[in-house]
Amino acid sequence: MTEETHIKWLERMEQDSRTKQQAFMNDIARRLKRPRTTEAPTHPYRGAPDYWQEFQWSSVERIDQFTANFQSAGGHVFRMADMDEAKAFIVNKANEMLARYILRQNVSELASLRLEEELADTRVSVWNTNLQEAWKARAAEADIGIVIADYAVAYTGSITVLSSADKGRSVSLLPTALIAIIPLERLKTRLGEVLIDFDEAGQSGLPAGIHFISGPSRSADIENDLTIGVHGPGIVFALLVG
């Protein structure tokens, strides 16, 4: 290896990449037998069919459908009137599962649950609150991860979590069990109602990780036999609150 620093190497690779990019695009245009397209072409088929874009469920239907879909994927759904009920559920669950360690997102809704006060025998950590901590390793040790969903989709039975400094991707991924709190107003009918927000946010407005979670981790790779919890959480609770 030469003495070239990594940064220098990346810069050199980028120069190379930009040159090749032009060659690629010119080659595509040549093969398509037309000049380069540099203006955004009219896209008459953008997104789902028209009939679908008008499709809406009532709040009750959204709850029912989300519940049915999430459960059929092997997840558990509970309906809560308010955050106090959610708190009671979490405390109960943690005791019942003999959870030793809980990791939660660093968001105010979860802080106000004051879980650490109720759970004497369980350590509760808050994601990314101490820069010295090896947070990924902590997440891997956690029995339960707790998140607030940014969105949920009834039609597919999905929870959406967006990453940020306070909302690590690992919190919904590495613990043995996942509890996701879904404020009812975030529960949409269709996937498209969530996705459109990402189009509107545009390149500069997106987090590094957008994750749709539709039940516990699963695999049917061994003789078609369904296994739950292959890599991600094997137990997932969705708490519909509101």
Partner 1 sequence: MSQNAAHTKSESNNVKPASVKERADLALNNDFLRKAVRFTTERLRDGKQKAANDHGHWEEWRERGRQIRLHTIAHLDYYLNLFADNARANGTHIHFAATGEEAVKIALEIAQRKQAASVVKSKSMVTEELHLNTALESIDVETIETDLGEYIIQLAGETPSHIIIPAIHKNRYQIAELLSKEAGEELLPETTILAGFVRRKLREKFLEADIGMTGCNFAIAETGSMVLFENEGNARMVTTLPKTQITLMGMERIIPSWSDLEVMATLLPRSATGQKLTVYMSGISGPRRKDDGDGPEEQHIIILDNGRSEQLGDPEFQELLNCIRCGACLNACPVYRHIGGHAYGGTYSGPIGAVLTPALNKNVDQWDDIAGASSLCGACYEACPVKIPLHDMLIYLRRRKVERGYGDKVEGLGMKGFGAIMAKSQRFSNVMKVGRIGQKLLVRDGGIPSKLGPLKGWNNYRIAPKLADESFRESWKGLQEELDKNSREMDPVIQKRMEDLLAKRKLEELEGGAGHD
Considering only residues 100 to 159 of the shown chain, the ones binding partner 1 according to CB under 8 A are 127-128, 135-137, 139-140, 155-158
Structure tokens at 30: 């040549």
Residue 54, phi then psi, degrees to nearest 5: -90, -5
6 binds partner 1 (CB under 8 A): yes
Q: Which is nearer to partner 1, 9 or 88 (CB)?
A: 9
| Contact (Cβ atoms closer than 8 angstroms) between residue 231 and residue 170 | no
Number of residues that bind partner 1 (CB under 8 A): 91
Q: How far apart are CA 124 and CA 180, in angstroms?
A: 16
| Contact (Cβ atoms closer than 8 angstroms) between residue 141 and residue 176 | no
Residues 223-242 that bind partner 1 (CB under 8 A): 223-225, 227, 229-233
Residues 181-200 that bind partner 1 (CB under 8 A): 190-192, 195-196, 198-199
Q: Which is nearer to partner 1, 9 or 112 (CB)?
A: 9
12 binds partner 1 (CB under 8 A): no
| Contact (Cβ atoms closer than 8 angstroms) between residue 97 and residue 177 | yes
204 binds partner 1 (CB under 8 A): yes
Residues 68-97 that bind partner 1 (CB under 8 A): 69, 73
Q: Which is nearer to partner 1, 69 or 122 (CB)?
A: 69
Residue in 15, 47, 59, 84 binding partner 1, rule: CB under 8 A: 47
| Contact (Cβ atoms closer than 8 angstroms) between residue 185 and residue 242 | yes
| Contact (Cβ atoms closer than 8 angstroms) between residue 125 and residue 166 | no
Neighbouring-strand partners of residue 181: 148, 239
> Shortest approach of partner 1 to residue 107 CB, angstroms?
13
The interface region with partner 1, picked from 45-53, 82-90, 116-124, 143-151 by CB under 8 A, is 45-53
- Determine whether 70 is exposed, middle or buried from the number of CB atoms within 10 Å of its CB (0-12, 13-18, 19+): buried
Quickly count: other Cβ atoms within 10 Å of residue 204's Cβ: 5
Question: Tokens 């049915």 sit at which residue?
Answer: 68
Q: Which is nearer to partner 1, 64 or 84 (CB)?
A: 64
Q: Which is nearer to partner 1, 122 or 176 (CB)?
A: 176
